[in-house]
Structure 1
């Protein structure tokens, strides 16, 4: 387990179980990768006539588009279209003709005109007219068993019927359109070119989850108002599964030469044979008496799906009733947290359409080695209430496991929760965990535990958080060790740049030091009291106690966005997890003090000292130490240096005398003073000033034996008892040093 964080620069990969279909020439997907699910521009035209019979002269009745589907309760429904072609100079009355339907065994099935066609009769000269029929047959009847027997009413005959022809359906007759071709069909009274753009199929433990991207193009001269269409997936066994439709409804109008993309999604039991699938488009037709039937318009062969490995950052799509969304898995990590580990995944959602979309109510879970299910909490850190076209947001998935638990593979199931009273969708472990709603699977990603380390960037490099409303850039400037009597405090100075266009608060963070053996040291983080301006920076002091002798050179700094009960933590919250981890290699610490008193740096401050001098009254033992200084600060940096001090110490060369004076910094000053003594309240003020330190020691004349040289030491004090020497210079007593 300790090796999980040892190799920070590992290259990350991710595989998602997605399947695609068709073996036709490729097109370019959203991320620029090739996808073999495209189709050629091959148009099959309208379905050919099954057969025709002559009704005198060049006039004919054609049998078109016969289909067979299951009835609502029992049996099957045959639907077919008769087209009367009048090539003569006089009108034809369809009432003079009829059709009888029989099976090969001699069983007759009554036929009925669709309600919408019952008022049709007269076919003008030089025109054609369609008449649609249906008939109920038994479960064992197939299309090739049927014959269509046409008659003309003749009242001079005893049975009033004159046979005029018969048409049988060939055994090889099919509505199916080959893979790679588009089908012309009349929809909404206009010619429509229809075809499959691409297909993907993901799956979970119990169901295949197909997504079919379908395109309709109006090639007519008028707008086509779509009828009520039903899209179905038909399996090789003849099982029919309705698909959810996004992009159109029965009120949609497709204007001339306009293409409309439709996204179809569904859920197919995993036990169903995955090969031999077909897409069926049917129009829901009113039969009258509150009865409807689905009349197939076109059918397409779906190619066998093939598995495809997917890398981090690749775009995929899913659809719901609101529209089509892009989805991308950015990362899936295992992180240290107290006596547990966190599983965190970052998913990006994108509006791929041209209209604004609502943000779907995402949910999901992790599954380890196909055996252990880990509930996931969904966290959104953005400040967005809807998705504009092309806009992206990030969503975080968070779960917890014992830090001692080992696994090989992890799956992330991305789902959407519908606020309905329906039962949960198939394949959802435990159903709906939050009460009242239907959960639908969207996509499943698969990952390997060996690749779940957080890659650390090198010293001085920057990393971003791109959540809308919280965009910021993080980097580690320096590391300082403050020695104490019982232990060392190590402080990392983290710079946070506000990338938003408004004043913004720095997100509450969680931070750890992690050593190469996997040992984790939690850190305290200084709290800021003000917001950061646009383009401004904040300096955070991340501090922790390390054992004596612990080296920071090989350690990493982990930073994450703090979480409390499934939401980003506020200032006063005690975090219970973190997300969006960033890892940094720590810069080498500057351990040797400088001897330059004109350029003392302790970011965001700078101090320059000159005219440094000492005077002494040997009789009274009064020693006066004074210096001029210029104290500056980066005004674009917000920091909290409360309780931080600068300590200036003078120490005689023989070591018998030393005196240290603490100076508060301007941001943490509790009293004024301009550098004058004030019961420990000395303060370094911004700008140019003079500081005087008065020391009274009656024994001082006996301690300063040589009166030759002394050291001027400058310490940065992080907290009482914890100091780091940053500058040291040897000076002469009773001389003024420039």
Structure 2
């Protein structure tokens, strides 16, 4: 609530402010309330003239526009002296003066004021009229009826050196306020300005009221009029003075015949009675900074305000001189426990001929008791353009207490900024009574693009670090009879009624189709992440369709009441990706546990096949291992960067470190899906930040049996056989294994991007030493595919001589990332000493 501040700067108070008591309520349909009059029916206000004194048969001096101006601890009286010279010779106003006294005999010094830029001469040429302004510091307790003005002429032949031209007492009948439904024509220097005040309006905001009215000015003179630094105040019958906020005037020079309008506002407690309040207008002199009263207007009040708009009606909002029609098109209410979650779709129509930017309005929903609730824009765009003749749909969302359903109003507020000194309501659109909107899973949707079936098919929950991904899938089907473009869908997501911030949810199209043929479908997924401990029972989506850059259309409210369990696949079943342009299949091959020094490595490998009809890159994947106790372990899955021909295959594998105590008894799952990066499908080289379309592959019991021979050892895609071995002891710490071997590529993969190694180890009961050899290395020596191939493997170790002399075992391992899996072993007792 904005507090009313009593202006402490000097302010103007008119003589007509002594009014009778009234009941202290807001003006509504009381007898003193007057409807706004048309300008044609207005009466002319003759002005606040006090007295005219003749100084010759053709010339006179007039006193008018007597005003009080109050400060925090002082009071000033301002008045204007009009000198009319009807003679043929100039009048030197230096020969005259005005004295200010009171009925009690007190006399106050009078000062003259000359406006910045005006002539300081006091000569009044023949056949002309000039005005002079005077002011005086007076007793703050004085009333207008206490004042006496005396016009004197200097005459040094008389006692006191003055001769009285005339004097006048201010009476209680003196009226200086422009009455309601009247206009006032003021002449100032070479300018003539006609002004009138329109009837004011109220808008109740609970404990406060917003008061608003307009002061209209018209240049009826022959010359341009430069608007001065006007200040505006509202004075109540009780004497409370409130500074008014004014709309900024961009053009400060008013040409002859042109008009300008000041829209004036304030916010004040609704206990303040504004019946018979007045508008006080002052001007601050640019040079002296003196604030000079200019006019006073009696304010009338309309029975109805021009802010409130009834349900199903359009509001008129002026934006930079362009009329904008705004209306509430749809209200979606989703009841969730103790609150109503409301989505409003509003339509904005530019009735002008030029585009205009929608200001950064503040939106609120106000209840009957004046309590206001924040409303958020569903779109994050900061520059919303309204094009002429086109509708712009803007969606808003708010959360309200469940008990609130009737008597609600949507407030469109202009916030306080550099141009607006106060926040105020531009329009208030009444809402129809809220009724819970029943969400659906599918509906027929029609737009100017065509006819569609929109369906929210399912939702999945996938692990992601210390969060879970909630992926909600949408299907869009062409129900028309010809090709149709795909709707440009946007979504507002709520979980158990709680809105998910727009930047924390992303809608992704799951295939590359651009048009839909009759009966064809396309799929979207809406993704968000929540803490893994977060529980909810309902997903709701408000969907909209972006028809064009300037037009949106609401699709509807959709709901799901459950998360679909992930599909489970046995180790022999195939994981398929069916989206156009991404068709592929993944088949389980093997699961092993590789041993390491401090922990072990869980390892699963697969055959990945391109099911597209063309050469392409396989979709990037992401996976997590799920253990028997429900833990999720982030898996490293190396995606294939090379492209594959149609039906081409590649070897891929997923790994994750596990404790030494880990055991897979056929109760471990691999949660695998299509990888995402930056709200799009990942490329093989990308680092994934999410995944979708997950499935659970039940991994077989770990296959760890090692052969007691070194023959036909299998490691994908190879098979290794040691044909002959000659062990050569070079010295006590060095041995060379001279081997004849056969290495065949038994599994036919088009692409194997995995680096495969064998680790050869000499061991006895106490010590073991070994070395790694890469299979078909890109550089350097290693194992080559073929029959009866030769290789020498050097091994170094401090106890090698003892091992070889006492008989030894040769172990052959598959090595991955420093972890080893035993393939086969064979005992040997002989060796060769090389000197």
- For Structure 1 versus Structure 2, the TM-score category normalised by the shorter chain is 0.5 to 0.7
In the TM superposition, residue 115 of structure 1 has moved relative to its aligned partner by 3.3
Deviations 1:410-441 (A, max 9, x none): 34444344468x9xx9xxxxxxxxxxxx9723
Instruction: Please tell me whether residue 285 in structure 1 is matched to residue 269 in structure 2.
Output: no
Aligned counterparts, 1:9-408, within 5 A? 39-42=39-42, 44=44, 47=47, 49-71=49-71, 73-116=72-115, 119-186=120-187, 189-197=190-198, 199-248=200-249, 252-285=252-285, 290-303=288-301, 305-306=303-304, 310-317=310-317, 326=324, 328-330=326-328, 333-336=331-334, 341-347=340-346, 359-368=358-367, 370=369, 374-380=373-379, 384=383, 395-401=394-400, 405=403, 407-408=405-406
Q: Secondary structure at the match of 2:145?
A: helix
In the TM superposition, residue 508 of structure 1 has moved relative to its aligned partner by 3.9
Aligned counterparts, 1:423-572, within 5 A? 440-443=423-426, 445=428, 447=430, 450-452=433-435, 462=446, 476-477=452-453, 493=476, 505-508=488-491, 527-530=509-512, 560-561=542-543
CA RMSD of superposed structures (Å): 5.4
Which structure's CA Rg is the greater one?
A: 2
In the TM superposition, residue 323 of structure 1 has moved relative to its aligned partner by 7.2
In the TM superposition, residue 111 of structure 1 has moved relative to its aligned partner by 1.4
Report the CA distance shift for 1:531/1:399 in structure 2 as closer, same or farther (over 3 A): farther
TM-score by length of 2: 0.50
Report the CA distance shift for 1:481/1:333 in structure 2 as closer, same or farther (over 3 A): closer
Count of matched residue positions in the alignment of Structure 1 and Structure 2: 504
In the TM superposition, residue 88 of structure 1 has moved relative to its aligned partner by 1.0
Please tell me whether the aligned partners of residues 95 and 121 of structure 1 are also in contact (alpha carbons under 8 angstroms). Answer: yes
In the TM superposition, residue 219 of structure 1 has moved relative to its aligned partner by 1.4
State the distance in 2 between where 1:356 and 1:445 align: 24
Report the CA distance shift for 1:411/1:478 in structure 2 as closer, same or farther (over 3 A): closer
Report the CA distance shift for 1:372/1:93 in structure 2 as closer, same or farther (over 3 A): closer
Q: Which moves more between the two structures, 121-130 or 178-187?
A: 178-187
Q: Which moves more between the two structures, 148-157 or 202-211?
A: 202-211
Please tell me whether the aligned partners of residues 39 and 179 of structure 1 are also in contact (alpha carbons under 8 angstroms). Answer: no
Q: Secondary structure at the match of 1:95?
A: helix
Q: Secondary structure at the match of 2:273?
A: coil
Q: Which moves more between the two structures, 302-311 or 175-184?
A: 302-311
Q: Any gaps of 5 or more consecutive residues in structure 1? A: 1-16, 26-35, 426-437, 464-471, 483-488, 515-523, 545-556, 569-578, 587-642, 644-661, 672-678, 684-717, 721-738
Deviations 1:441-498 (A, max 9, x none): 32574756734456999986736xxxxxxxx86855488999xxxxxx999756699x
State the distance in 1 between where 2:394 and 2:577 align: 46
Report the CA distance shift for 1:388/1:478 in structure 2 as closer, same or farther (over 3 A): closer
In the TM superposition, residue 506 of structure 1 has moved relative to its aligned partner by 3.2
Please tell me whether the aligned partners of residues 67 and 78 of structure 1 are also in contact (alpha carbons under 8 angstroms). Answer: yes
State the distance in 1 between where 2:478 and 2:541 align: 12
Deviations 1:382-404 (A, max 9, x none): 673566788875554422357x6
Please tell me whether the aligned partners of residues 393 and 553 of structure 2 are also in contact (alpha carbons under 8 angstroms). Answer: no
Report the CA distance shift for 1:176/1:373 in structure 2 as closer, same or farther (over 3 A): closer
Deviations 1:594-630 (A, max 9, x none): xxxxxxxxxxxxxxxxxxxxxxxxxxxxxxxxxxxxx
Q: Which moves more between the two structures, 208-217 or 191-200?
A: 191-200
State the distance in 2 between where 1:456 and 1:38 align: 51
Please tell me whether the aligned partners of residues 407 and 431 of structure 2 are also in contact (alpha carbons under 8 angstroms). Answer: yes
Please tell me whether the aligned partners of residues 284 and 293 of structure 1 are also in contact (alpha carbons under 8 angstroms). Answer: yes
Report the CA distance shift for 1:155/1:366 in structure 2 as closer, same or farther (over 3 A): same
In the TM superposition, residue 86 of structure 1 has moved relative to its aligned partner by 0.7
Report the CA distance shift for 1:335/1:92 in structure 2 as closer, same or farther (over 3 A): same
Deviations 1:641-695 (A, max 9, x none): xx9xxxxxxxxxxxxxxxxxx9989777559xxxxxxx99799xxxxxxxxxxxx
State the distance in 2 between where 1:149 and 1:315 align: 56
Q: Secondary structure at the match of 1:105?
A: coil
Q: Secondary structure at the match of 1:144?
A: helix
In the TM superposition, residue 151 of structure 1 has moved relative to its aligned partner by 0.5
TM-score by length of 1: 0.56
Please tell me whether the aligned partners of residues 310 and 430 of structure 2 are also in contact (alpha carbons under 8 angstroms). Answer: no
In the TM superposition, residue 236 of structure 1 has moved relative to its aligned partner by 2.2
Please tell me whether the aligned partners of residues 350 and 391 of structure 2 are also in contact (alpha carbons under 8 angstroms). Answer: yes
Report the CA distance shift for 1:177/1:151 in structure 2 as closer, same or farther (over 3 A): same
State the distance in 1 between where 2:142 and 2:180 align: 28
Q: Any gaps of 5 or more consecutive residues in structure 2? A: 1-25, 459-471, 498-505, 527-538, 547-551, 560-566, 568-575, 586-608, 614-692, 696-835
Report the CA distance shift for 1:133/1:246 in structure 2 as closer, same or farther (over 3 A): same
Q: Secondary structure at the match of 2:213?
A: strand
